[in-house]
Amino acid sequence: MDPILDGLNTAQREAVTSSAPILQVLAPPGSGKTKTLTARVAYLLSHHGYLPQDVICCTFTIKASREMRERLAKLIGERLESRLILGTFHSICRRYLVKYGYLIGLRKGFGIADSDDSRAILRRIIKRLNATIEVKTAQGKISRHKAHGLSPDALAERVKAEEMELVDIYRAYQSALADSNLLDYDDLLVRCGDLLREHPECVSNVQTVLVDEFQDTNIIQYDLMNLFAAQNRRITIVGDPDQSIYGFRSAEIQNLRRMQRRYSNTSIVLLESNYRSSASILKSAQGVIEQDTMRPAKTLQATHSFGTLPVLRKLPTANAEAHWMVLEIKRAVAMTGGLVRMSDIAILLRSTSLSTRIETAFGRAGIPYKMVGGRKFFDRTEVKTLVNYLRVVSHTGHADALLGIINVPPRRIGDETIRQLTGGADKAQVPLWNFIKDVIQGRRSTEKKLQKAAEQGLCSLVKLIDAAKQKLQDCPDASAPCVLLEHITESLSFQEYLIKTYPLDEDSRWANVKELMGQANDAAASAGDVAQEEDLPEIEGVEQQQSHPGEEALSKFLANVALATEATKEGDMETEKVTISTIHAAKGLEWPVVFIPAVYNGSIPHSRAEVIDEERRLLYVAMTRAQALLYLSLPLRQPRLGEGEDGSTSLTPFLTPKLVKDRFRPKGPQLHEKVVYAIADILRRPRPTPDDMYKELNSLPSTLDDRWTSEGEERKDADGQWKDAMGPNDEAKSNPKRRRLDSNQPTSTTYMSASSLMNNSSNFQVSTTLSTGFLSARDYAATSAASQEPVTKSTPNAVPEQPITKKASSTASRKDGLTQASISNFFGGPGSFQKREPIPASRPSIQYPQSSYQTAQTTRPGPAFVPPALTSHRLQPRPLQPSRPALEPAQPSNYTWMAAPSRPAVKPARMLTQPPNGNSAVEAETKSEEAKQESSTGIQSVTFNTTTMASLQQQGGPGRRTLGIRRSMNGWEERMKREGGGQVR
């Protein structure tokens, strides 16, 4: 078997090997999206004969693209991998603009304005224009407009007089960027779009385009995808509408539909099996996401056992909440006998501001952690300063960078001097840098005479920069950034400067400088590798812009700095650390144990959130990061920004009372043997031995989550000493009396469902009789073996400690199961369904909301298939295709649904129903046939449905539409039931 397909389930293979030209892979969290996309890249290279340099693969974050590169290197080897055009939209666009930007009049050596730069520019403009708008809002609005492709002029035409202020600011902002030869994040995309529209030949080599996290693309990115693929019109995207959490950045979920409308031959593969989380976590998460009524019902098929219920914990204050996390982390680590380690744990936050409390609590308790997401490193002032020096050296026109360093270290250049200089430069219509040079060399003068000291300071700055520029010219290779940094820090006596200015933490700041140099060094080293990631394939007839290699290395380094999110080098990754991250930054990742604190109204949903659904999805994304243990918590009081006047908080509305009751426990789970084993199984790790599990117990203040009542109150002991006795540091020496395991606490019972109540009461009575008040390991073993805390609740799916596969069909037949109809419903939008009817196939210009689907399922048994033995020959490397005639959106859209149920095995041959070269794909796919199940063979036939969408003049009434949905759902259910028995694997 093809090694590329190893370890993929049938639906995933379906997606990987599909010969469909336009393919959408829709998949819930944990279903192996990225794995599938990666495998598809490899597959396309090896089976379709695409050259890596002719394949564009867009990811959303730098981390994702790095991960993908690593996976691909393993799959296809570094040689091929390094030639792929793979990266974030922004970085890919930058590459094209570097090479071909001259074609649209972009100046050489442009820099990238990060959001601090943008903010600084806007601040100046707003001040100058005496505008009232806040810098941040202006920044956001401008970015929005750019993402929608609106230039200042275009904006001016469609906006009211009162908004003209913004137009002026926008204009001024653009010209300020242009003056400094900068592009901001949005410009990278917009300008690249301009380039490819005017000069499509730049991507004429591109055979296929793949996009990860498609639900997060905005309009411009969507356009770019199509422009990239203009030549050959072969696109694969993966995405999940439920995980769309970047609406604030103008991401548009509708792009999924837009794409289907544009490409009538869109095929869709659904992945439904979740390989990440316990069934109970999935259930809880689904309970959250399903509150979104506009969303299509969709199955999330668990492959793991039910596990232990997630926790929803109330705590008195935010500090208590942080402390509670400390205790639960310690408990989880100790009681699982090394199964759960610090690095297995993540704290996911709605906003970075929540981290401080947690960080201090962790710091005091000695819990190692690393904070990701907050752009920390490159924001450090000392790092920023040095980077600004590099930027000025790279491009002296970069006015903001220049202003950032003009008086750092202090050169006696104050506000007044700066005002004189910028004012003069403005008047003379000369870049600031040139003006300064002219002034100190006596060719020009400022309105008011500059102070001697200031002039001297300017002199030394100019000297330094000029010397550095010379050095850059002399440096013919990628070591330029490194060389320059050394030169600059030395000439500035930067270390002494740091010592003087930051006497408190001078060493850590210097360490940051060292780190920056290290990164420059790494960049230099990796640039020497076989293939330059930077290089785009040469295209005949289009000249690439060449530049000095040292300069290029420098500008690339600076671009990486600007585009990096968490470029903090993974140097200290080896040590065991808890991860603290924003939810946004956690997307695509997973951890065995996840904490989500502050689940109160105002945090989630955030008080300033615009779209409530997006906040819900955010919580959903956070919850589905967890594999085995999931803890949500909230403080009952918030000192500052609470909801009520008294600072009391209320639980997020996303966690409805019913959901809380059915799917959460009020306190951390008892971590006895059974629970621990279930965790081990979910993580696919060896079960720890009982000895391992018990040996650390004595370090814990309690083996239970009993420091607070389940109503979130401070537990009052007889002597009332909890509070002071339990500093975070001295658990170990606290009075044994307080460590006794509580057996009955009335408060906790209110939450318990009947089943868990039963065994909550009596299991631990043994312990209270122990003279020490604390269980020895063996005692604990004895009690916990008897305790049998229910790991499950009575749910149809509750199959403890058993892979859930056998139950799959029952889930699928539930009314909330994902059906083809419901998914199509999503794409059609609400109410787009109708009973199936013949639909005129050639209606032009589809109005999406009015469209309807014809659902039918085809199975092509026997002769229609190539015998399995031959399937491996099916997709031999093909000659590259000539570009195909365009399929215009005016054609009816025919979506091919290739919904392989997660569990059953499928013969790959079915893909042959599509002609291999795609030219006649449309015709083939529009044929819809009734699905038939080939149940007798015991082998699952493919469910290969063709959904034809076309516009409808008039819609049926709501009743009819519902009927239509029901109908197709029933068909699906029927099939699922029938398929339930025969499974091949």
User: How many Cβ atoms are within 10 Å of 370's Cβ, its own excluded?
Assistant: 16
31 is known to lie in a ligand binding site: yes
Closest Cα to residue 902, out of 12, 6, 243?
A: 12
Of 23, 69, 439, 492, which is closest to residue 214 (Cα–Cα)? 23
Q: Which stretch binds DNA (CB under 7 A): 57-65, 590-598, 619-627, 651-659?
A: 57-65
Q: Does 352 help bind DNA (rule: CB under 7 A)?
A: yes
Residue 746 marked ligand-binding? no
- Strand 345-349 to strand 273-274: parallel, antiparallel, or no bridges (unpaired)? unpaired
The answer on whether 376 is annotated among ligand-binding residues is no
| One-character DSSP codes across 444-456 | ---SSPPPHHHHH
Question: Judged by CB, which is closer to DNA: 446, or 945?
Answer: 446
Nearest to 240 by CA among 281, 287, 302, 299: 299
555 is in an annotated binding site: no
Would you count residue 456 as binding DNA (CB under 7 A)? Answer: no
Instruction: Give kind and range of the element (H or E) at residue 822.
Output: helix 820-828
CB-wise, 318 or 563, nearer to DNA? 563
Residue 33 annotated as binding site: yes
- For residue 373, state whether it binds DNA (rule: CB under 7 A): yes
Task: Give the Cα separation of 604 and 245 in Å (integer).
Answer: 13
CB of 482 to DNA, least distance (A): 24
Task: Please tell me the distance from the alpha carbon of residue 321 to that of residue 714, in angstroms, as a whole number.
Answer: 11
Q: Supply the DSSP string of 626-648, one letter for each residue.
A: EEEEEEEEEEEE-TTT-SSTT-B
Residue 823: closest CA among 21, 284, 28: 28
Polymer length in residues for the chain: 985
Q: Per CB under 7 A, does 449 bind DNA?
A: no
Contact map string, positions 135 to 154, toward DNA, x by CB under 7 A:
-x------------------
Q: Does 375 bind DNA (CB under 7 A)?
A: yes
Least distance (Å) from DNA to the CB of residue 571? 19
Contact characters 782-821, DNA, x per CB under 7 A: ----------------------------------------
Min CB(555)–DNA separation in Å: 16
Residue 370 Cβ, how far from DNA at the closest point, in Å?
A: 14
Choose one: 55-63, 717-725, 835-843, 860-868; the region binding DNA (CB under 7 A): 55-63
User: Quick check: 565 binds DNA (CB under 7 A)?
Assistant: yes
Q: Name the residue nearer to DNA (CB basis): 123 or 860.
A: 123
CB of 590 to DNA, least distance (A): 17
- Of 406-425, binders to DNA (CB under 7 A) are 407, 410-417
We find the least distance from the C-beta atom of residue 89 to DNA, in angstroms, to be 7
452 binds DNA (CB under 7 A): no
Q: Can residue 296 be called a binding residue for DNA (CB under 7 A)?
A: no
Q: Are 39 and 3 in contact (CB under 8 A)?
A: no
Q: How deeply is 528 buried, as exposed, middle or buried, from its count of CB atoms within 10 A (0-12, 13-18, 19+)?
A: exposed
Nearest of 117, 587, 643, 707 to residue 379 by alpha carbon: 117
- Give the strand pairing for 893-898 and 944-951: antiparallel
SS3 183: strand
For the record, the structure tokens of 539 come out as 């295209």
Residue 107: exposed, middle, or buried by beta-carbon count in 10 A (0-12, 13-18, 19+)? exposed
- The long-range contacts involving 695-700, CB below 8 angstroms and separated by at least 24 positions, are 695/337, 695/777, 696/333, 696/334, 696/335, 696/337, 697/334, 697/335, 697/775, 697/777, 697/780, 698/774, 698/777, 699/330, 699/334, 699/731, 699/732, 700/330, 700/331, 700/334, 700/335, 700/731
376 binds DNA (CB under 7 A): no
Q: Which is nearer to DNA, 620 or 895 (CB)?
A: 620
Amino acid in position 480:
A
Task: Name which of 352 and 881 has its Cβ closer to DNA.
Answer: 352
User: What's phi and psi for 488, nearest 5 deg?
Assistant: -70, -50
884 binds DNA (CB under 7 A): no
Q: Is 507 in the site for DNA (CB under 7 A)?
A: no
- Please name the amino acid found at residue 35: K
Stretch that binds DNA, among 162-170, 206-214, 348-356, 959-967 (CB under 7 A): 348-356
* Cβ-contact 38, 72 below 8 angstroms: yes
Report the nearest approach of DNA to the CB of residue 603 (Å): 9
Question: At its nearest, how many Å lie between DNA and the CB of residue 38?
Answer: 19
Comparing CB distances to DNA, the nearer of 117 and 681 is: 117
In angstroms, the CA 589 to CA 343 distance is 13
Interface stretch with DNA, choices 368-376, 515-523, 785-793, 971-979 (CB under 7 A): 368-376
Q: How many angstroms separate the CA atoms of 530 and 52, rounded?
A: 14
CB of 141 to DNA, least distance (A): 12
Stretch that binds DNA, among 15-23, 71-79, 449-457, 815-823 (CB under 7 A): 449-457
Phi-psi region of 782 (alpha: psi -120 to 50; beta: other; left: phi over 0): alpha
Output the smallest distance, CB 520 to DNA, in A.
20
- Find the binder of DNA among 585, 634, 675, 679 (CB under 7 A): 585
Q: Which is nearer to DNA, 503 or 686 (CB)?
A: 503
Among positions 164-203, residues that touch DNA (CB under 7 A) are: 185-186
Among 50, 60, 362, 620, binds DNA (CB under 7 A): 60
Tell me whether residue 412 or residue 884 sits nearer to DNA (CB atom). Answer: 412
Report, in Å, the least distance between residue 868 CB and DNA.
43
Residue 30 labeled ligand binder:
yes
Which one, of 1, 83, 4, lies nearest residue 42 by Cα? 4
Shortest distance in whole angstroms from residue 454 CB to DNA:
5
Q: How far is the CB of 647 from DNA (least distance, A)?
A: 15
Between 353 and 872, whose beta carbon lies closer to DNA? 353
Taking phi over 0 as left and psi of -120 to 50 as alpha, with beta for the rest, 574 belongs to alpha
Query: Scanning residues 235 to 294, which ones bind DNA (CB under 7 A)?
Result: 245-246, 248-249
Among residue numbers 587 through 616, which ones bind DNA (CB under 7 A)?
Answer: 606, 608-610
**Of residues 23-52, those binding DNA (CB under 7 A):** none
Is 29 among the annotated ligand-binding positions?
Answer: yes
Angle between helices 506-527 and 494-501 (to 10 degrees): 150
Residues pairing with 371 in the sheet: 580
The reply to whether 754 sits in an annotated binding site is: no
* Cβ-based burial of 754 (10 A; exposed 0-12, middle 13-18, buried ≥19): exposed
Quick check: 385 binds DNA (CB under 7 A)? no
- Applying CB under 7 A, does 430 fall inside the site for DNA? no
- Annotated binding-site residues read 27-34
- Annotated binding-site residues for ATP read 27-34
**Residue ranges binding DNA (CB under 7 A):** 60-63, 88-91, 115, 123, 136, 185-186, 245-246, 248-249, 350-353, 356, 373-375, 381, 407, 410-417, 448, 451, 453-454, 563, 565, 582, 584-585, 606, 608-610
